[in-house]
Amino acid sequence: MRVISCCTRFHAPSSFRISIVLRNHPQTHSCSLMEQYDLSANTVIDDPRALTDKITLIRDAGPSKFQVIADFDATLTRYRVNGIRGQTSHGLLQQGNEYYDAKRQALYEHYHPLEISPVIPIEEKTKLMEEWWSKTHDLLIEGGLTYDAIKNSVANSSIAFREGVTELFEFLEKKEIPVLIFSAGLADVIEEVLRQNLHRTFKNVKIVSNRMVFNDDGQLVSFKGKLIHVLNKNEHALDMAAPLHDQLGVDIGEEDEENNVYVKQRTNVLLMGDHLGDLRMSDGLNYETRISIGFLNDNVEKNIESYREAFDLVYLNDAPMWGALELVSRLFSTEAS
C-alpha cells in the first residue's frame, strides 16, 4: 500500500508542525500542489501550545465526537477570482428580470451600510437585517424566480471554491464527520454552486440556510422554515442539523431528538469563518473543545490583531484550504482507516 506524505510549514514555532498522510487518494496531485504552496507567510497562530493541546484532546476523543461548522461565502469560496472580488451566493443571483434585480440591489445599497455600522445597537441591527432579508425574499417570489434562473446564474457567475475544499470534504466524508455549512444566503443556490463547481454531492454535508419552495413549474412560491440572516445564523443549527446527524448513525429516541441530544454528543468542533461574527456559529452547542480557523482575506494590516486574538489559526490573503485539510488529517490520520 502506497503512502504519500505532504508537509507544509506554518509561521509558528518549530514545536508546531502539521503533516498530512494520504493513502490511496484518488487525486494524489493535490499533494504536489500543497508542497508547491508555501502557507508559512500567510499563517498566523497566536498560541501554538494551546492549539497543540486542542488537537490532542480532539484526536483522543475520536471522529465520532467531532463536527465541522463552516461559513460559505469567502470561507469555503475564494474572496478574489482572477484578481477581482468574487461573487457571493446571494450576489450572483439574477432573476432574469432587470426591474427586480435592480430593486434587490437598491436594498443592498440601503441596508449593507447599516449591517456594517459600528454604532447601531445589536437589537436594532437585528431587526434591520430581518427587514432586509424579508424584503429580499418577497422580491424573489414577486419577481417569479425560477430554478432555471438559479442554474443559469451559477453557470454565469464568478464564484469559485478555494483549492483544497473538495479534498477536505472527501476526507471528512470518509471519516463520517458532519459538515454544517452556515449561510445567511440561499440553500438552493449554494447547493447548485456545489453541483456545478465540485461536480458531486457529499452525504455528510448539510446546508443550514434559507430554503426555497418551488411549484411544479419550477417557480419560487415560498420559503421553508425560519428566516436566517447574518446576525442569527447560529440559533437554528440544532433544529436544522437533525437529519444529518441521524444519518451518521447516532441512535436517537423521539425525546432525545427534541432536545437535540445527538447533536450535543459531537462536542468537538472545527469552526471556519471569515468574519469575527462567524465565531458565534457554534453558539447553542455546549462544545468541549473548539478549534477556530479565520480567513482574513482583505485589509490585513487593519484587522490582523483582532483576528489573531479571536481565532486559533488565521490564514491571510485568500489562502487555499490546504491548511485546514492538513489540520483534520492530523486529528484523524487515514492510517487508522
Catalytic residues: 71, 73
CB-based contact 183:207 (threshold 8 Å): yes
CB-based contact 290:268 (threshold 8 Å): yes
The owner of cell 492530523 is: 330
Residue count of the chain, please give it: 337
CA separation for the pair 236, 208 (Å, rounded): 8
Strands 220-224 and 205-214: antiparallel
Count how many Cα atoms sit within 13 Å of the Cα of residue 203 in the half-sphere of its side chain: 8
Q: CA nearest 262: which of 274, 245, 278?
A: 245
Q: Which amino acid is at 67?
A: Q
φ, ψ at 255 (rounded to 5°): -70, -40
| Nine cell digits for residue 322 | 490546504
Burial 4-32 (b: 16+ CB within 10 A, else e): eebebebebeeebebebbbeebeeeebbe
| Nine cell digits for residue 292 | 477556530
CB-based contact 283:232 (threshold 8 Å): no
